Structure 1
Amino acid sequence: MAERVIEVDGIELCTESFGDPSDPPVLLVMGLGASMLWWEEGFCRMLAAGGRFVIRYDHRDTGRSVTYPPGRPGYTTADLVDDAVRVLRAHGIAAAHVVGVSAGGALAQLLALAHPGRVRSLVLISTSCAVPGDRELPPPTKEFVRFASAARADGPDAESAIEHQVAYARVLAGGRRPFDEAAARDLVRRDVERAHDFGAARNHDVLTDGEVPRAPLSSIAVPTLVIHGTADPMFPLRHGEALAERIPGGRLLALRDAGHGIGRADWSTVVAAVLDHTAAGRS
């Protein structure tokens, strides 16, 4: 289907859906700084072919959703959590299976805590605990820290932004599998060219929490599947293990040698796991 810009509570968000609206709904929540394009169309169509109504959307300050002045986002993390509810409301959906990747996985956890009636199940990919626990978790890898502390988009032009994002994608891939630079470059270029203001995504770096839930993850009562790459450089595998341990009944699917995010080589495995997790009777 074509993209659709919704307006709820005065907030414009760009969304796109796949599949039959009568099928069980699956809401895809991307990480911060990334538009819905990072839920690649082929992945979305595979889920829809499995009998799911799939919705992806641009966060504020990404893609074709509302943008704000640099350094002054005017919204909080809690507002991004509420945006997921706005997307569901605009599509006439009372509750959905929610799949979040990276910081989108944290938003999905907060959504389940703040609006439990809106969430039928959770799938948390390449993410960590949104609510602090009593155990220390390992830091990012040295390679990730080195890139994050040294790399910058050298200029405001599109080519500089593209080179920076491709280099970042290479680091996130984890280094244990071949990196498909051509595919990454194509995706990044489309993302840059599609955005109202690609630089606005940096506003996500300065967000405050706002009124996010502080309840423990043990209070999440919906079926939860955690999917995590064993070579994730941002959140080492222990982060995924901790999530599965802290959420009652949580299950962990470890992807051997996978990095951060959903690589195309893992689409079939991840789609099969999500379809099984969201099947009638499962959740």
Structure 2
Amino acid sequence: MTTVDANGIVSGIESFGDSDAPLVLLAGAPTMLSWPDALCERLAAGGRRVVRYDLRDSGASTATDPQAPPYGLRDLAADAAALADTLGGGPAHLAGIGVGGMVAQVAVLDHPEAFSALTLVGTRAVAPGPPDDDLPDHDRATMNRLFARPMPDWTDREAVAEFAAAGAAILGDDPVTARTVAARIWDRTPGTAPAVHRANQMGMVFSRLDCTPRWRERLPEIDVPTLVVHGRRDPFFPVGNGEAIAREIPGARLLVLPEAATAIPDAAVGEVTEVMLGLG
């Protein structure tokens, strides 16, 4: 892991594969560890240079104030384009997961010259908050269980890891994997402030981020090969959100993972990798 300066921002990155191979850039949600190690390694073995990176206010990237971010969604999109340019090698295959998928959509719309393909995993085409009337919202019962829990001591690594594991079980993800990833995120979080740890673990900055103007109506402008991956059991962004994106981006392929919720499970890594490599 290292850092790269692009767009006046320091981005924490981790690279896999041959530095001369075509670039696949993975936007975190918000940390790079939202992307499974196994997926990065499989993509690299398939002849790609894979770089996963932290969004601002997470991991090793530029930190400001996650409770009052002095930037918006379009700034994060510009970061992605600048990072692709700085890393070099021509237009990149950009992938975003969760809220990182929002960044990826806007990046390809605002900076089409920077990207050659797009993968969107477990995301939606509208900003955090109430969705459009035709899109399914978070599953209410699941959210009630998820957010009714008392917050952990964010300065206690083990408490945070256990909190993440319990949350994953509620969402339908693997709690063992979630516990391990949460501990790794905790280790990479800059500083000790509870608000910063919470932002790194839960992506709270997006609830306070300026995501205007809307971009859903622009999805038909996307003209790069696009893959939309969504878990059939996702209660946070239910699968109807992925189906809508796939309908609205011309030629997009929809891959629904029948046993997945919000994360890419180990059992699906091979299939997701194969389809991503097929995009070019």
One fold, TM greater than 0.5? yes
Matched with 1:193 is 187
Q: Which runs of 5+ in 2 are unaligned?
A: 192-196
Q: Any conservation in 1 of the 2:38–2:266 contact (CA below 8 Å)?
A: no
Q: How many angstroms does 1:242 deviate by? A: 0.9
Q: How many angstroms does 1:53 deviate by? A: 0.9
**For the structure 1 residues 228 and 214, does the alpha-carbon distance in structure 2 shift closer, same or farther, using more than 3 Å as the test?**
closer
Amino acid at match of 2:101: G
Which moves more between the two structures, 57-66 or 146-155? 146-155
Q: How many angstroms does 1:43 deviate by? A: 1.7
**For the structure 1 residues 116 and 9, does the alpha-carbon distance in structure 2 shift closer, same or farther, using more than 3 Å as the test?**
closer
Amino acid at match of 1:105: G
Amino acid at match of 2:267: A
Equivalent pairs, count? 269
**For the structure 1 residues 182 and 122, does the alpha-carbon distance in structure 2 shift closer, same or farther, using more than 3 Å as the test?**
same
1:167-246 paired onto structure 2 within 5 Å: 167-173=166-172, 179=174, 181-197=175-191, 198-201=197-200, 202-209=204-211, 216-246=218-248
Decide which of 12, 20, 24 is 1:22's aligned counterpart.
Answer: 20
Note the aligned Cα RMSD (angstroms): 2.3
Which moves more between the two structures, 92-101 or 231-240? 92-101
Within the alignment, does 1:162 sit opposite 2:158 as a pair? no
The percentage of counterpart residues that share the same residue type is 36
Q: How many angstroms does 1:213 deviate by? A: 5.1
Matched with 2:194 is none
**For the structure 1 residues 127 and 25, does the alpha-carbon distance in structure 2 shift closer, same or farther, using more than 3 Å as the test?**
same
Decide which of 48, 51, 55 is 1:55's aligned counterpart.
Answer: 51
* Secondary structure of residue in 2 paired with 1:216: helix
Matched with 1:96 is 92
What TM-score, normalized by structure 2, do the two folds share? 0.87
* Secondary structure of residue in 1 paired with 2:21: coil
Alignment deviations for residues 28-62 of structure 1 (CA, whole Å, 9 cap, x no partner): 1122xx31122122221110000111111111111
Distance of 1:133 and 1:170 partners within structure 2 = 25
Amino acid at match of 1:168: G
Amino acid at match of 1:160: A
Distance of 1:193 and 1:166 partners within structure 2 = 16
Q: How many angstroms does 1:137 deviate by? A: 1.0
Q: How many angstroms does 1:212 deviate by? A: 6.9
Matched with 1:267 is 269
Matched with 2:258 is 256
Q: How many angstroms does 1:80 deviate by? A: 1.1
Alignment deviations for residues 109-139 of structure 1 (CA, whole Å, 9 cap, x no partner): 1111100111111111111124899761112
